[in-house]
């Protein structure tokens, strides 16, 4: 079992007091951090969110476009040459 199973199960609860775990819980799955792969995936999703927000606010160059995620992120980084981190990024998510 991965931490994603725990995340999905726990994220549907409204309060911790109202959550019952009926099988053994491997606490390290939710307290020991995430894998590098998942951290990278979440970082890419945050960058895509920043691209979408910037586009909606009219701050993004029309040249930043692609049907492919990797190319879109690369063109965004090339356009945003200082690679500033979005203000809402948590420190663990920074791409610098």
Q: Confidence class of residue 56 from pLDDT cuts 50, 70 and 90? A: very high
Residue 71 has pLDDT above 90, yes or no: yes
Q: Is the dihedral of CA 3, 9, 12, 15 positive or negative?
A: negative
Predicted local distance difference test score (pLDDT) of residue 37: 83
Residue 10 has pLDDT above 60, yes or no: yes
- Kindly tell me the burial class for residue 20, based on how many C-beta atoms sit within 10 Å of its own C-beta (0-12, 13-18, 19 or more): exposed
* Cβ count near 8 (within 10 Å): 9
Residue with the bigger pLDDT between 12 and 73: it is: 73
Tell me the whole-structure pTM to 2 decimals.
0.60
DSSP per-residue string spanning 32-85: S---HHHHHHHHHHHHHHHHHHHHHTT-S-TT---SSHHHHHHHHHHHSTT-PP
Section 23-50 average pLDDT: 80
Residue with the bigger pLDDT between 91 and 28: it is: 28
Q: Confidence class of residue 40 from pLDDT cuts 50, 70 and 90? A: confident
Separation CA 18–CA 64 (nearest Å):
46
- The answer to whether residues 93 and 39 touch, using CB atoms and an 8 Å cutoff, is yes
Residue with the bigger pLDDT between 24 and 86: it is: 24
């Amino acid at each position: 079992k991965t931490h994603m199973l725990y995340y999905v199960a726990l994220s549907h609860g409204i309060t911790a007091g109202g959550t019952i775990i009926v099988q053994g819980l491997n606490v390290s799955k939710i307290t020991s951090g995430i894998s590098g792969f998942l951290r990278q995936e979440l970082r890419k999703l945050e960058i895509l969110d920043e691209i979408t927000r910037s586009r909606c606010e009219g701050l993004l160059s029309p040249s930043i476009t692609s049907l492919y995620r990797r190319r879109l992120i690369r063109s965004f980084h090339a356009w945003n040459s200082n690679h500033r981190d979005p203000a809402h990024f948590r420190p663990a998510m920074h791409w610098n």
